[in-house]
Amino acid sequence: MRILLAEDERSLSRAILKILEKNNYSADAAYDGEQALSCLLSGRYDGAILDIMMPKMDGITVLKNPERQHTDPRRPQRRILSGGNLMIKKLRRKLIAVSMLSLFLVLFVILGAVNILNYREIVENADRTLSMLQAGQGTFPDPGDNPPPGEGRPRMSPELPYESRYFSVLLSGSGRIISVDTGRISAVNTSEAMEYASRVWENGSERGFVTNYRYVRSEENAGTRIIFLDCAGDLATCRSFLFSSCAISALGLLAAWLLILLFSRRIVRPITESYEKQKQFVSNAGHEIKTPITIIDADTEGSQTKRLASLTSDLISLSRLEEAGSRLPRIDFPFSDRTAETAQSFQTLARTMGKTLDLSIEPIISLCGDEKALTQLVSILLDNALKYSPEGSRISLSLKRQGKQVRLTAANPAKLLTGEDLKHMFDRFYRGDKSRSETPGYGIGLAMARAIADAHKGRLTARLEEPELLVIEAVFEPARLARKS
């Protein structure tokens, strides 16, 4: 297999070429972007290792160059594609969702209040009119009998008797209909009036609606009079206002959604730029540090050099995990088997440290995801549990299916942990209690574990159980489960 290595640092390029040759790869070197592109266009290479930052043309531009699409189609093309910034996309989606939900709730409360008040006003006006009819035993009183202002009784508009449509039915104490008055309404005949009155009598309520008619029961010497007032026009206006206000609000929500969608990019732009600068710093720092580390490590076997190389590699891996997100390669694989194999490799280390590692792994559990990353997650949890538990501790690792979820749980005794430590446990470089500060490590492992869980749509949480038992649990949702083999 023929590889092209594009790296502008010649000392680093020589070191990488030696590694490739030791692994039986045929490799050539290019020292700037234009030279790399020219070599790739020749079609002589099966793959390429490209530095992102090179003179004349960066590595991403070389990969995206359209002329590369016309190389020999029979030769496989291997390249690295940069994943999108999922965190920023999620933040933008949450911003839009929260904004729209807030606007919807405000409009819902306003529309609900306005329409309820509108309906109540219709009911109150109808009840006032019915009170006047009740006082007149089914008819309006003489306009001359209007009470003076301030007496407390409702005053009647002179036009009200001519605007209102009403009818009444007088019933005996046993519910027998004595008389029917439909002289002030043409939409209801005597039989219909009797039917309405029978329904109200059986209902037994004092006030209410029968279809579009508001009614009230009035006790008289001759019996019980039920007076009906036609509210069809007012109710139709109320319904029309309700539908119109809902339609206008829906259009307003749509317009607001379009505006928020348009301006949300500008709102999150400062966060995007800050995150990109942070990510670029990690990548650049890792790139610049790796050059002297590779050269130094070729001449010495110093442990500090290896620790620095390990830290740099972890930082770059974490940055790539966060950038790749859901674009990690996914396959169905036996997670139970990988977990058991990884855990067995820690048994010897546990015995050497004077600790006991208990395993409870349910068989035939498969996951769909990046096998290497999820296996690394198991290693990180076990490494963390062994490192930060006292001598003689009993550590447990369990993998089980609960309902439709898969739960991977590591538990170990931990002293001096506080609620504040749990809040920051998955932050980069965080090492809270004294035992963690004195134990070798960088505070990167659990940050990588959370990035792996997030990339697989899972959740990684930490909690304290019993007095001093730290439990770290990864939960993978049903959508990430594979079919049983």
Which of 39, 70, 101 lies at the terminal end of a domain, its last residue? 70
* Mean pLDDT confidence for 249-259: 92
Q: Is there a contact between 222 and 57 (Cβ–Cβ < 8 Å)?
A: no
- Domain for residue 106, yes or no? no
- Domain for residue 13, yes or no? yes
* pLDDT score of 357: 94
- Domain for residue 151, yes or no? no
In total, how many domains does the chain have? 2
Position 175 pLDDT exceeds 80: yes
pTM beyond 0.85: no
For 13, the domain range is 2-70
Q: How far is the C-alpha of 342 from the C-alpha of 63, rounded, in Å?
A: 36
Position 77 pLDDT exceeds 70: no
**Distance spanning both ends of the chain, measured CA to CA:** 35
- Domain for residue 380, yes or no? yes
Long-range pairs, 94-103, Cβ under 8 A, ≥24:
95/260, 95/264, 95/267, 95/268, 96/257, 96/260, 96/261, 96/264, 99/256, 99/260, 100/253, 100/256, 100/257, 100/260, 103/253, 103/256
* Mean pLDDT confidence for 358-363: 94
Position 484 pLDDT exceeds 50: no
Q: Which residues contact 26 (CB under 8 A, 6 or more apart)?
A: 1, 2, 3
**pLDDT tens across 89-142, in order?**
778 888 899 999 999 999 999 999 999 999 999 999 999 899 888 888 888 877
Which of 53, 70, 87 lies at the terminal end of a domain, its last residue? 70
Q: Is there a contact between 321 and 373 (Cβ–Cβ < 8 Å)?
A: yes
Phi, psi (degrees; rounded to nearest 5) at 2: -100, 125
Position 312 pLDDT exceeds 90: no
* pLDDT score of 101: 93
- Domain for residue 443, yes or no? yes
Least confident of 23-37, 203-217, 306-320, 392-406: 306-320
User: Which CATH number characterizes residue 421's domain?
Assistant: 3.30.565.10
- Domain for residue 364, yes or no? yes
Q: Which residues pair with 6 in a beta bridge?
A: 30, 50
pLDDT band at 75 (very low <50, low <70, confident <90, very high): very low
User: Which CATH number characterizes residue 50's domain?
Assistant: 3.40.50.2300
- Domain for residue 11, yes or no? yes
Give, as one character, the DSSP assignment of residue 481. B
Nearest Cα to 428, choosing from 342, 316, 325? 316
Give, as one character, the DSSP assignment of residue 389. S
- Domain for residue 66, yes or no? yes
